[in-house]
Structure 1
């Protein structure tokens, strides 16, 4: 297994948990982002800096992952592609995506995009993403441990 992290939106605490897990389990891990991140030096941890641009990091992850790898992302289309490639996929909040639940997540994402695009939902009134909570941290740590075993 190789862990691929869509690192542009990765919360710092999730990055720390991923790093600790990679070192503890000696699992190769690559953080992919359009800027360098400070990572704990380890032979198991790699940083791949990609060009700025729409889906550049996602494309690098999909091109390099193989069946049985783990992709960590909040990007629903990337999660769907990863599942289709045979990868395990989870979000930074511990949601484990499967063939059984990814379509529902894609449909909800598309619906929300349509609502924002038509002006029914105003993004500034929605308040943005909620802060990373202790509950999110625990769910993420539990999901990561389950998938990396």
Structure 2
């Protein structure tokens, strides 16, 4: 199992790396070249930098991800494409995307975009809290355990 992180702006990148490495899993962070960093990471963590572009990181992740891998992303569209490939997909708030829940999330996203396009306003995301981080960490450990036991 590899863990892929949709790295553009992920507030749980370091948490995912720490927990993944503690289980001796390979971590792949896919991010835009705009987020290039010279920070050194331990063995087992690799970065793939992609060109600037709205979905460049998403396309690269979809090329690489396989059945049994885990993806951390807040992007519903990317989640909807990774799930049929047999990957587990986790949101940064500790919610696991499933084939049963993804359609409703995509419909909500579509409706919100339609409201904004017609000049309306929708609520943005709430600030990321310490409680959100802990919930994510617990769910990540649970999903890793479950996937490794398969």
For normalisation by structure 2, the TM-score amounts to: 0.90
Kindly state the Cα deviation for residue 129 of structure 1 after the two structures are TM-superposed: 2.7
> Could you tell me which residue of structure 2 aligns to residue 16 of structure 1?
14
**Counterpart of 1:89?**
89
How many angstroms apart in 1 are the aligned matches of 2:85 and 2:51?
23
Per-residue CA deviations over 1:6-43 (Å, capped at 9, x if unaligned) read 000201xx122111112200100111111224655212
| Equivalent residue number for residue 54 of structure 1 | 54
Contact 1:22 1:45 in 2 (8 A): no
Per-residue Cα deviation, 1:52-110 (whole angstroms, up to 9, x for no partner): 00200000000000001001100000000010111100111111000111111111011
Q: Secondary structure at the match of 1:119?
A: coil
Gaps of 5+ in 2: 146-150
Matches within 5 A, 1:1-149: 1-11=1-11, 14-34=12-32, 35-37=35-37, 41-121=41-121, 126=123, 128-149=124-145
Structure 2 CA distance for aligned equivalents of residues 40 and 135 of structure 1: 28
Query: Gaps spanning 5+ residues in structure 1: where?
Result: none
Q: In the comparison of the two structures, how many residue pairs are matched?
A: 143
TM-score for the superposition, normalised by structure 1: 0.90
d(CA) in 2 for partners of 1:50, 1:99: 28
Provide the aligned C-alpha RMSD in A: 1.4
Asked if the contact 2:36–2:49 (Cα under 8 Å) also holds between the matched residues in 1, the reply is yes
